[in-house]
Amino acid sequence: MNQLPDNQRVVVTGLGALHNLGHNVPDLWASLTAGKPGIHRVTRFDTTLFATQIASEINGWNVEEHMDPKEARRNDRYTHYGIGAGKEALKDSGLDMNRENPDRVGVLIGSGIGGMETYETQLKRYFDGGPRKVSPFTIPALISNMCSGLFAIEIGARGPNYGIVSACATGTHSIGEAMHTLRRGDADVMIAGGAEAPITPFAFAGFCNMKAMSTRNDTPETACRPFSLGRDGFIMGEGAGVLVLETLEHAKKRNAPIHAEVLAYAATADAHHITMPDPEGKGLGAAMTRALAAARLNPSDVDYINAHGTSTPYNDKFETLGIKRVFGDHAKKLAVSSTKSMTGHLLGAAGGIESVISIKTIETQTIAPTINLHEPDPELDLDYVPNAARQAAVNVVLSNNLGFGGQNASILFRRFV
């Protein structure tokens, strides 16, 4: 492929992640490559009356180690997670804000739902005690752009700053749009990804009543089984995944570590249904095709796909059809896995944490598996890397995410050369 000039090539210099399986990137990656399930019975609230009683909650993580306790109390858990992962990414990148032009550093950490816990807590206070009982910090805490705003305040970044909301495609859209921001010359550095804290009674009730989540409550560790014949719904997860992106020109000037290059990204719509993906995979197929075209790659150049792979009957089937539509004969030769089988579905943070996973795949030449795939669906016949991690030559990774509303996102990462 023809190389872009250094001021338009975009590289990843920092990685940050927060999840039940690991409160940092090294621990998360060790858990994933070991095939460790991160799903258990919900402990945050009483699930007796809920059809689904399992999730991937973050436990044992102290936000006060990452931000001022007073500020933490004023803000929602989703911002806590985004700031925790963002600070890890910033430290990993070696970026020193005292040496940077703050007007050239931006933040784009999106959330699909935003401050759901704040919404529920304050609504209860309103109904129990009237309007005077509602906290004056309610609106800032629940809006979905606040993680970006708060992180910018924390580090003094005055560049482009906003939040994207596109359901489960949010994290990938955020990283992709951050890439475009850098290529346009609007910033030298963008801190981008997704953060979500949706494990609350109200959100759980909504998803349960949609019949979208698995009800295998007695066997939480094996409940999430993407591409399996017995899959019956997704498992909710929470956390954050954040990248530090820079123009190659800027990264070279400061001799920054480079994890990978962001080659291209594309966003499309199914224009089909509010929750069900296009049954022929056309919308996602278009996103993958456009991303490949923007990167000037052939389908055969892709070594691994980190699939959206939610473990719902429709998503896994239609995503497989979309991959076959785009990759043709090569679809049977490349590896495809769903790390959601271990992490659960982080909704708006999925694309953030799965971008971190995609980059670690390139760095370690190891593909994390799709666990719980013991009963393959005969209609789904790709190489889903079942049950155990695999060493492989991986230079190019494609990561897919789909959101309610028919919103699709595909992003390509490559080993930096």
Q: Cite the active site residues.
A: 168, 308, 345
DSSP lists the bridge partners of residue 109 as 193
Phi, psi of 132 (to 5 degrees): -70, -15
Those residues with Cβ within 8 angstroms of residue 404's Cβ, 6 or more apart along the chain or in another chain? 167, 168, 274, 275
Residue 323's nearest CA partner among 334, 314, 313, 312 is 334
Residue 239's nearest CA partner among 379, 353, 68 is 353
Distance from the first to the final alpha carbon of the chain: 12
DSSP lists the bridge partners of residue 244 as 14, 191
* E runs forming strands in 239-389: 239-247, 260-269, 304-306, 335-337, 366-367
Residue 220's nearest CA partner among 31, 34, 37 is 37
Q: Tell me, what DSSP letter sits at residue 22? A: B
Those residues with Cβ within 8 angstroms of residue 98's Cβ, 6 or more apart along the chain or in another chain? none
Residue 194's nearest CA partner among 223, 215, 173 is 173
Residue 50's nearest CA partner among 58, 39, 42 is 42
DSSP string, 30-76: HHHHTT----EE--SS--TT-S--EEB---S--GGGTS-HHHHHHS-
